[in-house]
Amino acid sequence: MAINPLQPAGETREIWTVSQLTRRVKGILETQIGAVWVAGEISNWRVSPAGHAYFTLKDEGSQLRAVIFRGRLSQVKFEVDNGLQVLVRGAVSVYEQRGEYQIICEEMQPRGMGALQLAFEKLKAKLEAEGLFDPARKKPLPLLPKRIGIVTSPSGAAIRDILNVIQRRFAQVHILLYPARVQGEGAAAEIVEGIRALDAYGVDVMIVGRGGGSLEDLWSFNEEPVVRAIASAKTPIISAVGHETDFTLADFAADVRAPTPSAAAELVVREQEALAQAIANYERRLQRALDARMAQVRSRLERVHASFVFRRPEELLRQLRQRTDDARMTMERLVRQRIADERSGVEKAVRSLALLSPAAQVHRAHERLASMRRRLFGAGLAVPLRKRAELRTRAAQLDALSPLAILGRGYAVAWKLPGETLVRRADQLRAGDTLRVRFGDGSVETTVQKLTDG
């Protein structure tokens, strides 16, 4: 209790914190309401990474927060999803951190159909959609199995019935029993372990089963791991679960379904007498086939013995001898022709080789080189003489056109200084301009004294 400084003097009032009030409400709900059954529709279904499920139960007028923890969720036998109508049993409490009241579920059942039956139907539809029950996956049973594996309870009536039938029909077979619980917690895991162990060991055929019972008693054979282990086994499996009217998901996944364990034993081995009778039938059919074949061969031999060849064998020999002579002469003619062709080919190759001989090719190359050297030498002498005459002609032409030659004949060229402007006309000059005059043998600088006409 605390004193409020704003309240009038002499007046006391009890003030609660939010946590205190929340705990008080939580205590009232848990003690006065406690565990209840609640019906509603699931919405906002969410499973956390830790395996706990959080959801909302609602009806037409209200909604209620709910949680079911991992341990209890693993016991739910049907697939939970939004929109499912369920019955839940649990304790009403308060989640203090958010101040929300909720129900902590201990048990969950679907409304209408029973939980186990609903789980059976949903899992059957799921596995059937995956193809686990496809008849194309079924493996045939071996005719004469040497090793039979059995997964069942070692103390149940099922194993006794199976052994009695097998020993009565075919006592020489080798039986391997993998003891497993067939009912209750952990039974499905032991059945799966037994199937995988015998499959890896290498038995010829396997019986997985138990006696009859209620849906709850047979539920281990409806567990998904058991069904998947049966479907994935390499060994042919006979499912022998319950009585004739009882079906489990293991029956649909197995290669063969037997209504009882005794019927499974009858399927897996055949009676010795029936097997002996089948062998005798095969023996009689084989003997008849051999007799018919012998009669056919004997008739053919008699026809051959009565033929012309057996009555006059020397005639056959003469014909063969004549055919051999003809073949030998033909062969000799062909061989001689082939030898002549090969000889002609060799001679032609020798001539070609002589023409292609490296020595002959080198000799011809030397001759071509000498001829080219002579032609090159002649061309080398003629070219300088021709070029020298052309040079003299060009030099004379150049000398005739040279400005120096013109200047040498008495002409001069003048440039106005300081710009070195070529003087072409007299009107370019003024008195006092400085000129540089070029003659044929040199140049001078002079000053214009006076400009005159003509």
Write down the domain spans for the chain: 18-112, 126-270, 408-447
Is residue 1's pLDDT more than 50? no
Work out the number of other CB atoms within 10 angstroms of the CB of residue 198: 25
**Distance from C-alpha of 109 to C-alpha of 77, rounded to nearest angstrom:** 9
Strand ranges in 237-371 using DSSP code E only, listed in sequence order = 237-241, 256-257
The candidate with the shortest Cα–Cα distance to 403, out of 438, 366, 359, 353, is: 438
Long-range Cβ contact pairs of 111-118 (< 8 A, separation 24 or more): 111/39, 111/85, 111/86, 111/87, 112/85, 115/76, 115/77, 115/78, 116/77, 116/215, 116/216, 116/219, 117/215, 118/77, 118/78
Task: For residue 241, name the pLDDT band (cuts at 50, 70, 90).
Answer: confident
With contact defined as beta carbons under 8 Å apart, do 97 and 223 qualify? no
Is residue 349's pLDDT more than 90? no
How do residues 366-381 score in pLDDT, each as one tens digit?
888 888 888 888 777 7
Half-sphere exposure of 12 (CA within 13 A, CB side): 3
Q: What is the mean pLDDT of the chain?
A: 83
CATH class of the region 18-112: mainly beta
Contacts of residue 347, defined as CB under 8 A and 6 or more positions apart, other chains included, come to none
**Distance from C-alpha of 287 to C-alpha of 254, rounded to nearest angstrom:** 40
Please give the backbone phi and psi of residue 109, each rounded to the nearest 5 degrees, phi first: -135, 145
The DSSP code for 243 is S
Superfamily of domain 126-270: Succinyl-CoA synthetase domains (3.40.50.261)
- Is residue 88 within a helix (H) or strand (E), and if so which, with residue range? strand 85-95
**Distance from C-alpha of 143 to C-alpha of 170, rounded to nearest angstrom:** 12
Is residue 115's pLDDT more than 50? yes
How do residues 60-74 score in pLDDT, each as one tens digit?
889 999 999 998 898
Please tell me the predicted confidence (pLDDT) of residue 196: 95
Amino acid at 182: V
Task: For residue 3, name the pLDDT band (cuts at 50, 70, 90).
Answer: very low
How do residues 280-309 score in pLDDT, each as one tens digit?
888 899 999 998 999 898 888 877 777 666
Give alpha helix (H) positions in 185-312.
187-201, 224-232, 249-253, 261-268, 272-305, 308-311
**Distance from C-alpha of 225 to C-alpha of 222, rounded to nearest angstrom:** 9
Is residue 112's pLDDT more than 70? no
Strand pairing class (174-179; 147-152): parallel
Q: What is the mean pLDDT of residues 157-185?
A: 85
Q: Which two tokens stand for residue 23?
A: 């705990």
Task: For residue 266, name the pLDDT band (cuts at 50, 70, 90).
Answer: confident
Give the number of residues written for the chain: 454
**Distance from C-alpha of 130 to C-alpha of 365, rounded to nearest angstrom:** 87
Give alpha helix (H) positions in 59-182.
70-73, 115-129, 157-169
Bond into 261 cis (ω within 30) = no
DSSP track, 408-438: HTT--EEEETTTTEEP-SGGG--TT-EEEEE
Q: Which two tokens stand for residue 239?
A: 């499912």
Please tell me the predicted confidence (pLDDT) of residue 198: 95
With contact defined as beta carbons under 8 Å apart, do 120 and 146 qualify? no
